[in-house]
Amino acid sequence: MNWPESSNEFPLGDGRFGLAAERPSDRDSLAASVRKHVAEGAAIYPQGGRTALECGGAPARPGIVLDLQELNRVIDYPVADMTITVETGMTLGALQELLGAEGQRLPLHAPFPDRATLGGIYATDTSGPSRYGLGRPRDQILGVAFVSSQGELIKGGGRVVKNVAGYDFPKLLTGSYGSLGVLVELTLKTRPKPEQTAVLWTRWPIEEPLEPVLAALTTSRARPVVLELLNGTAAEAVIRETNQGLPTSGQILVIGVEGTEEVVRWQLEVLREELASAKELSEVRDAQADQLLQAITTYPATDADVSFKASLLPSAVTRFLTEVDPSRWAAQSHAGSGIVWGLARPDVPIGKLARDIDRLRKLATSAEGNLTLPRCPTDRKAELNVWGVPRSDWELARMIKRALDPADAMNPGRFL
């Protein structure tokens, strides 16, 4: 079986294309499709909104695109239980609209919510600035159903918050990049929609050490749900997107709070006292605050030839950011969660970026972390190690892969 000789309408990313595409409308037809194509020796490439096609390694062998966007139904929504079970082709935007009608939400930010499907978000473990106070995708998932490479429907977890029995398939599938099976159903925890949201956009001199400020915020009387730190290059890009006229020079520390009107007002007063040494402090509320947080979420996923994601201890974030050259990289971090994103500026030669990546990866691993490359030219992916320095648990991950996907048919080449 060979790759298509020319481009077509079934992109897989990295300049490669599928042999064909199918759009199943229910899980039975999806399972039958997987069984058929795997038996014929084809690989299976699940897709949703195509917001992360370039992430990970290059597709390893020819195969079929499975477009899951028609699997977008609500299976069960007991509003009072604050859980919902949906098919994975539903977009995050559609889910939030549905939940919003009941005064609820999924406490999750993701880039391009009107395109990004829930299956894609959970398969790539995508989150935004609210993960600091509201949790990661794996914290919100209760149950999962997926189709294995044998065409079997497998379920794990349940539809009740207290379910803890059995093998933890929900968390195992989260962040697996479609390498273990095709996600078809998710049961998720919801939360009440806050009455108000507010953001403090604070500017600090470039030479100001912010680790003590961040450390103090973790014990603040206020309870921020967002704690982001941006260099000037990233701040400029975010403000261009929102057109809100906020300052962008130096270091930008963004703090988000939410709750009732009274609670938000009190938290802002506390934070103004605690951040009195900031050079500038601007307050943004409600719709404008939501717009700003979505721009901060989406910016790391915008087009760039090269981007990195460093996973660190939160205490290592400020030191790491001082080593990122703002003339080469726009950098922003989920400072309270230890994640730093870097987007390369388009005019910087790949050779200089490669040296930066090597140096920053060494710094990340010395701080008990790692550095991966969500975006990287296809011909440099192997050389630059898009998944970072191998870890001791990778062999365990490969054993699980062999057990669940013995045909190595599910998204081959993408993960580890």
Instruction: Give the Cα separation of 65 and 46 in Å (integer).
Output: 6
Judge residue 257's burial from the number of C-beta atoms within 10 Å of its C-beta, 0-12 exposed, 13-18 middle, 19 or more buried: buried
Q: Which residues contact 269 (CB under 8 A, 6 or more apart)?
A: none
Residue 413 has pLDDT above 80, yes or no: yes
Q: For helices 232-242 and 286-298, what crossing angle results, to 10°?
A: 130
pLDDT at 165: 43
Last residue of a domain, one of 282, 299, 316: 299
The number of folded domains in the chain is 3
Instruction: Give the Cα separation of 150 and 34 in Å (integer).
Output: 7
Same-domain check for residues 289 and 345: no
Same-domain check for residues 228 and 275: yes
Residue 415 maps to a domain: no
Same-domain check for residues 313 and 262: no
Q: Which helix (H) or strand (E) holds 99?
A: helix 92-100
If pLDDT is split at 50, 70 and 90, which confidence band does 168 have?
Answer: confident
Judge residue 193's burial from the number of C-beta atoms within 10 Å of its C-beta, 0-12 exposed, 13-18 middle, 19 or more buried: middle
What would the two tokens of residue 199 be? 């953001």
With a pLDDT cut of 70, the percent of the chain lying above it is 98
Same-domain check for residues 281 and 294: yes
pLDDT digits (tens, 9 = 90+) for 94-146: 999 999 999 999 999 999 999 999 999 999 999 999 999 999 999 999 999 99
Residue 215 maps to a domain: yes
Residue 1 maps to a domain: no
**Domain enclosing residue 379, as ranges:** 303-384
Instruction: Give the Cα separation of 384 and 392 in Å (integer).
Output: 19
pLDDT digits (tens, 9 = 90+) for 323-355: 999 999 999 999 999 999 999 999 999 999 999
Residue 411 maps to a domain: no
What would the two tokens of residue 220 be? 């603040």
What would the two tokens of residue 254 be? 């963004």
| 165 to 143, 156, 159, 389: CA distances (angstroms) | 11, 9, 12, 34
Residue 3 maps to a domain: no
pLDDT at 84: 98
